[in-house]
Amino acid sequence: MNPGTNQPTDDPTRLFARHPRSFEANRFVYPVVSRRSGGVSVGVNLNPDKVCNFDCIYCQVDRVSTSETRFVGTEQLLAELDAMLSLVTSGELFAHPRFRDTPQALRRLNDIAFSGDGEPTTYRDFDRIVAACADVKRRHGLDGVRMILITNASMFHRPVVRRGLAVLDENQGEIWAKLEAGSEEYYKLVERTTIPFRQILDNIAEAARVRPLVIQALFMRIDGAPPSQAECEAFCDRLSEITTAGGKLRLVQIYTVARPPAERSVTPLSNAEVDALVALVQHRTGLPARGYYGSLDV
């Protein structure tokens, strides 16, 4: 709200500036107004210990401080999800101070998203928790609501993850797979992981041969410099390799930093730079691409 008035703020970016993975007393389930979903996304955090197999330079998760919650309590998670779905679908969520300024067009339940403070597919009972969440969604009569997995694609080769992906396929599921580099060098710079770039590429290609994927690609300025033209073109080449191998890509999301990142050297691309990368992807690959900005006026 604008100070001293009852009028909504005219700065919609405020809704997207922070995505806290907590809500009231909840430990595992949290609501956010998502710029990419275009509505309310109910997040399911399968990594409350904040352990991740990537250490991305742009990540906003504070991995220095220790989380009070170290393990997923399945019964509590499902109870929180049940209550949250009721809160959103009834409209009661929008009486909460954090959400009362949500524009009418965004006051809808868009999806249930497996995301959180780490890589969700590292959860050991991934297939079972996805199935249990799908059951909760079904009990609420929300068959049309999507279940989205936001993932770095590092664990797709594991049987428990493949089973979980199949459950998603049966329940309005979408996989949003991270691919943010064209070269091994840039991949290591941004993701800071020991997992080979080739493993990520192979996993995405194999999963995309089974069902269409959404690619999520965050690009940024590092020490003031955007990704080079050669890197952007190599990124397009990796996308083309996936489709040439029979993979189906529904959409390429090109976005940039919108919340405080882990490293001070990381800053957002301008809107024009995001638009240019979207145009490059469309031109070189023929794939649908959409841009999401760090601000409205940069």
How far is residue 257's CA from residue 262's CA, in Å, rounded to a whole number?
Answer: 11
Q: What is the pLDDT of residue 65?
A: 59
- List b or e across 63-93, with b for residues whose CB sees 16 or more CB atoms inside 10 angstroms: eeeebeeeebeeeebbebbbebbebbbeeeb
> Where in the chain are the domains?
12-178, 197-298
Q: What is the pLDDT of residues 186-241, one digit of tens each?
A: 999 999 999 999 999 999 999 999 999 999 999 999 999 999 999 999 999 999 99
Q: How far apart are CA 215 and CA 247, in angstroms?
A: 12
Q: Report the greatest alpha carbon distance in the chain.
A: 58
Q: What's this model's pTM, rounded to 2 decimal places?
A: 0.88
- Residue 259's pLDDT is 82
- The pLDDT of residue 63 is 57
Fold type of domain 197-298: TIM Barrel (3.20.20)
* CB atoms inside a 10 Å sphere around CB 49: 14
- Give pLDDT, residue 238: 98
Going from the C-alpha of 255 to that of each of 58, 59, 103, 132, 145, the distances in angstroms are 12, 13, 22, 31, 24
pLDDT of residue 64: 62
> For the chain (length 298 residues), average pLDDT per consecutive 10?
37 45 80 83 94 92 62 94 97 94 94 94 96 98 96 98 98 97 98 97 98 98 98 98 98 93 93 98 98 70
From the list 114, 148, 131, the residue with the least C-alpha distance to 44 is 114
Q: In terms of Cα–Cα distance, which of 243, 259, 262 is closest to 251?
A: 243
At 51 the pLDDT is 87
Q: What is the pLDDT at residue 70?
A: 66
Residue 194 token pair: 């020991």
